[in-house]
Amino acid sequence: MRNSLYDSYFYKVWRFLFLNRQKWEISKTSIGRIFQRFYIPYATEVLIFVSIIIFWYEGLITRYWASFPSDWLGITCLILALLFADKKKMFFGKPQLYLLIFYLFIGISGIFALIRGLDPTMVFKGFLLFLQFGLVLFAAQSLESKKKVIDGILVLSLPISVISIYQFLSNTQTSHLWLSPGELQLTRVFAFFGSPNVLGILMAMISILSFGSFLKSKKYYYLIPSGLSVLATGFTFSRSAWLGLVMALAIGIVIYNYKYLIFSPLILLGLIIPQVRNRIEISLSGNYLMDSSLDGRIWALINGLYIFKRYPFIGAGPGSYGGKLAANYASPIYLQGIQNGYTALYFTDNQYLEILVQGGIIGFLSFCGFIISVITSLIQTYRRNKDILVLTGLAVFVCFLTGGLFANVLEFGAIAVPMAIILGMSLSEND
């Protein structure tokens, strides 16, 4: 059966489109040779860690410095991190090429949006929100010590996990906007972020990363950030984070050793906790689905697809719909919705829907190509070198993608930046 698959036309097309058979070194290009002159040892590591601190602790910093320019300072650090990176360790493969194609079409979509009269600042910032992910992914390929970078990420995550657990134990008041009618749980932790979903997805990613580090090194102190982040994920009561964690573990186990799936029913033990059971039951209730269709995610899906049909090929433009940026700039794209200007929900709460509307079908397909090529490349690399950290990177990416079904994950630097770091390091492993 395997030989038949390898000889099939389908596999030949798949290999041509997604398998990372060839890599092009950036340092051998004319642009790479020019920018290699700006290389500064360890500058990339420092700038990346500074950007993580900015994105993770923005909520804490702005309490004491209200005018802190977190967005511009963060993107500046990422640009400099790429500029000072060692181009001799950077390369283009299928994933990177698909990502560049995605940015190309998002940029073209932005040009047409400007022609239609959309706010230039909104469009430019919208493009930067997408771009920050790519900047870090390329820069992360050049990192000197991947283990130290991972350890640094885990250490920086510890205060977030601890404060999250403290918020739960102290019954910190939760916004009613984060709860559905009839919920038993009155506290959803959020740490320094503006949403428990953002915190939940981040903590789920951290728990996978730290557990993978434990399996790699067999050092038990990695179980400390893993355990704390799992608790923090649970206390966010974020169903998207829970699902992301479960999907990541399931995919990781299947690839590592499918026989361990025999322990999968243990996940059901979580239903013993009344708040967890109640949170899941409510999401399946008729009243919840009705509310979602009136002013929730179902409504956002219908409205987004309606607007997509107006700009099916080139999209409405970066930053123009479905996110905080578009809402803050009162994007006129909202006036083209299914309710003649009335907007029940300003957010798509779905990264794929946001890309479809903003980038059109071409931008959406190129991003899907990036996802497929990344997954294919990481599986290919793991099967060859059996490096558990490569499998960990894949599992974290699955968690990230699952979270994207319920949140605009690329808009949040707190999630997108560490994901790009992990992905860049995983893709740079020798296969």
The length of the chain is 431
Taking 50 as the threshold, does the pLDDT of residue 427 lie above it? yes
CA distance 186 to 190: 13
Q: Please give the mean pLDDT across all residues of the chain.
A: 91
pLDDT in tens, 160-203: 999 999 999 998 877 777 777 667 666 899 999 989 999 999 99
From residue 194, alpha-carbon distances to 171, 198, 207, 230, 420 in Å are 17, 8, 21, 19, 21
CA 220 to CA 222: how far, in whole Å?
5
Residue at token pair 């993608």: 401
403-420: average pLDDT: 96
Q: In the prediction, which pLDDT does 184 show?
A: 65
List, for residues 365-405, the tens digit of each pLDDT value.
999 999 999 999 999 899 888 999 999 999 999 999 999 99
C-alpha radius of gyration, the chain, whole number: 22
At 84 the pLDDT is 95
Which pLDDT score, from 0 to 100, does residue 431 have?
47
What does the pLDDT look like over 66-114, one tens digit per residue?
Answer: 888 888 999 999 999 999 999 988 888 899 999 999 999 999 999 999 9
User: Which one, of 229, 297, 234, lies nearest residue 56 by Cα?
Assistant: 229
Q: List Cβ neighbours of 418 (8 Å cut-off, separation of 6 or more).
A: 52, 153, 202, 205, 206
Residue 13: pLDDT over 70 = yes
